[in-house]
Amino acid sequence: MKTLHLLKSKPDKNTETLMRIVSEGESIIFKLYEEDADYGKLIDLIFEYEKNISWW
């Protein structure tokens, strides 16, 4: 299953561990907290990936 992880802030160790646990197969991380975040690309990724998880 393809998983997209959306991060509003930099993850701590616990969040990183949980992200590895819930990821099955291909996964990608999209960092919303970076200034140069490409929101057009984000929209495409949301529709491309089967599972989208937001981490706040």
Quickly state the pLDDT bin for 7 (edges 50, 70, 90). Answer: very high
Q: Name the pTM for this structure.
A: 0.89
**Across 13-17, average pLDDT:** 95
Give the residue among 14, 24, 12, 17 at the shortest CA–CA distance from 49: 24
**Distance from C-alpha of 38 to C-alpha of 14, rounded to nearest angstrom:** 26
pLDDT number for residue 1: 87
Residue-wise pLDDT tens digits, 22-53? 998 899 999 999 999 999 999 999 999 999 99
Alpha helix positions (H), 1-56: 13-22, 39-48
